[in-house]
Amino acid sequence: MRTIGAQALMTLISHFVFIFVAFWSIQKLHIENFMRLYPSQARVLIVLLSVTVGFTCSEFFLNFIDNVRNLIFLVK
């Protein structure tokens, strides 16, 4: 049970870190300049893009780490 909790904590931390990095990166694109008539929608778009990109990157790296750990069973 303890390993499941640790894995859940690692997953949550990974998701939040990658979402934060994506949010920080996407803000530098200044999407709101392209959507001058709709500034509030531009902010929502930035948040949704950040969640999408961050979650996808986080899932990729978590799956990669899990697959590397499972390579041990190929040798045994």
Confidence (pLDDT) at 1 = 73
- Distance from C-alpha of 39 to C-alpha of 49, rounded to nearest angstrom: 15
Per-residue pLDDT of 18-55, as tens digits, reads 999 999 999 999 888 888 888 899 999 999 999 999 99
Using the predicted structure, report yes or no on whether residue 4 has a pLDDT greater than 90: no
- Distance from C-alpha of 52 to C-alpha of 26, rounded to nearest angstrom: 11
Q: Using 50, 70 and 90 to split pLDDT, how confident is the model at 74?
A: confident
Confidence (pLDDT) at 2 = 80
Q: Which contacts qualify for 4-12: CB closer than 8 Å, 24 or more apart?
A: 10/62, 11/58, 11/62
Q: What is the pTM of this model?
A: 0.86
The average confidence (pLDDT) of the chain is 93
- Distance from C-alpha of 62 to C-alpha of 56, rounded to nearest angstrom: 10
